[in-house]
């Protein structure tokens, strides 16, 4: 027998969440599957999301894996290419590339292919990570037009605060001002924008986290948004014991019992992708009942409070997050966001679908 930790991916929840995207946006859907589909498994997720009009990711090798697996949709490289050698692969596998800087533009122009490539021109409207400055866009568009290797150009930008109260107005104004001069299709919306800003859907939306059943907002639950949990991380109790008043548990002895209490040890630690920063009190389910973690998370184990779960014993099921316990709640208790927890699921955790 192996360690009892498991991740289960609910593919029908994934499909349900794609329908939620479509309820909010009539645009084409570019499903974001970067980081191994947010830790869920690239190919299985892409199969479940077969209805999406496109897939967006970072690594050209992953893009080729999708093509070779028979996906005919648009496949977009969100950061474009990183070396000149990758440019011929774009044509060979009919990949769509973001172009966000002058270096990429020059590499593209050095490639002799005629009328083949689809380009998404990234405009920096205030995020200041990637993208051409608005003032540079006319010259870049001119160059793309005169370089005969580009078949079509989509204009894109990315919002820094779509999930916050201040919103997207400033960046949207900059984008609309630049884009007004062109007939090109547009893409602006991540999950938060899809859910909160119907005025900024454009021709292609780019949902990521909402497909995986998690909320992009700190103050709205996934359930309130109609999203279903996709990944459930579960394990079992592998030890049960009693702490007497004054006794401690785990490294650093950071939790001390105030009275006699029952505790359990769960086969799950930070080497499985559980956040080490989850403090005492992080929610967790044992036998389907909600309780809390105790003390520091170790590499392979963590401790839980069994005071109110009298039937708990070795082998009792534990849910770390997922069905019955939103990953957003665990993330927030650990001072992070669900994205980080989902992406950090460790290689050693077996995944079922």
Count of alpha carbons within 13 Å of 134, Cβ hemisphere only? 15
Report the C-alpha dihedral over residues 255, 320, 6, 269, rounded to 10 degrees: -30
Residue closer to ligand PLP (CB basis): 192 or 286: 192
Query: How much is the CA Rg of the chain, to the nearest whole Å?
Result: 23
Q: Is 332 exposed, middle or buried (0-12, 13-18, 19+ CB in 10 A)?
A: middle
Does position 80 bind ligand PLP by CB under 6 A? no
Does position 154 bind ligand PLP by CB under 6 A? no
Helix 137-146 vs helix 102-109: crossing angle, to nearest 10: 10
Min CB(259)–ligand PLP separation in Å: 44
Min CB(208)–ligand PLP separation in Å: 2
Residue closer to ligand PLP (CB basis): 168 or 257: 168
Min CB(39)–ligand PLP separation in Å: 12
Q: Is 347 exposed, middle or buried (0-12, 13-18, 19+ CB in 10 A)?
A: exposed
Residue closer to ligand PLP (CB basis): 193 or 235: 193
- The set of catalytic residues is 34, 251
How far apart are alpha carbons 137 and 123 in whole angstroms?
8
Given 39, 41, 216, 250, the residue binding ligand PLP (CB under 6 A): 216
Does position 230 bind ligand PLP by CB under 6 A? no
Does position 144 bind ligand PLP by CB under 6 A? no
Q: Which helix (H) or strand (E) is 242 found in, with range?
A: strand 231-243
Does position 131 bind ligand PLP by CB under 6 A? no
Does position 78 bind ligand PLP by CB under 6 A? yes
Does position 213 bind ligand PLP by CB under 6 A? no
How far apart are alpha carbons 177 and 167 in whole angstroms?
18
Given 10, 97, 104, 191, the residue binding ligand PLP (CB under 6 A): 191
How far apart are alpha carbons 131 and 121 in whole angstroms?
8
Does position 197 bind ligand PLP by CB under 6 A? no
Q: Where are the alpha helices (DSSP H) in 180-266?
A: 191-196
Site residue total, ligand PLP (CB under 6 A): 12
How far apart are alpha carbons 45 and 37 in whole angstroms?
7
Q: Per CB under 6 A, which region of 12-20, 136-144, 204-212, 315-323 contacts ligand PLP?
A: 204-212
Does position 186 bind ligand PLP by CB under 6 A? no
CA proximity to 279, closest of 266, 294, 267, 290:
294
Min CB(216)–ligand PLP separation in Å: 5
Given 13, 20, 32, 90, the residue binding ligand PLP (CB under 6 A): 32
CA distances from 222 to 226, 281, 296, 343 (A): 6, 21, 28, 18
Residue closer to ligand PLP (CB basis): 209 or 302: 209
**Binding footprint of ligand PLP on the chain (CB under 6 A):** 32, 34, 78, 158, 190-192, 206-209, 216
């Amino acid at each position: 027998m192996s360690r009892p930790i498991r991740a289960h991916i609910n593919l029908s929840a994934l499909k349900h969440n794609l329908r939620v995207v479509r309820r909010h946006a009539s645009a084409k859907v570019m499903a974001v599957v970067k980081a191994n589909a947010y830790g869920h498994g690239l190919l299985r997720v892409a199969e479940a999301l077969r209805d999406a009009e496109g897939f967006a990711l970072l690594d050209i090798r992953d893009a080729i894996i999708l093509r070779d697996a028979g996906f005919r949709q648009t496949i977009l490289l969100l950061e474009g290419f990183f070396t000149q050698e990758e440019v011929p692969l774009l044509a060979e596998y009919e990949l769509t590339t973001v172009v966000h800087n002058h270096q990429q533009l020059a590499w593209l122009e050095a490639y002799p292919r005629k009328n083949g490539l689809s380009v998404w021109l990234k405009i920096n409207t205030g995020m200041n990570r990637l993208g051409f400055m608005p003032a540079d866009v006319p010259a870049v568009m001119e160059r793309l037009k005169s370089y005969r290797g580009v078949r079509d150009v989509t204009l894109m930008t990315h919002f820094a605060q779509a999930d916050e109260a201040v919103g997207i107005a400033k960046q949207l104004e900059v984008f609309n001002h630049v884009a007004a001069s062109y007939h090109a299709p547009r893409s602006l919306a991540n999950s938060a924008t899809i859910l909160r800003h119907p005025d900024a859907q454009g021709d292609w939306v780019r949902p990521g986290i909402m497909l995986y059943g998690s909320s992009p907002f700190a103050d709205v639950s996934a359930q309130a948004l109609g999203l279903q949990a996709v990944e459930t991380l579960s394990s079992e109790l592998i030890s049960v014991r009693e702490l007497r008043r004054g006794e401690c548990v785990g490294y650093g002895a950071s939790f001390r019992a105030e009275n006699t209490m029952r505790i359990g040890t769960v086969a799950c630690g930070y080497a499985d992708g559980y956040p080490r920063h989850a403090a005492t009190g992080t929610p967790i389910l044992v036998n389907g009942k909600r309780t809390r973690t105790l003390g520091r998370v170790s590499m392979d184990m963590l401790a839980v409070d069994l005071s109110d779960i009298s039937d708990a014993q070795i082998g009792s099921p534990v849910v770390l997050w997922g069905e019955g316990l939103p990953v957003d709640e665990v993330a927030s208790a650990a001072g992070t966001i669900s994205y980080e927890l989902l992406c950090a699921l460790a290689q050693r955790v077996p995944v079922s679908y």
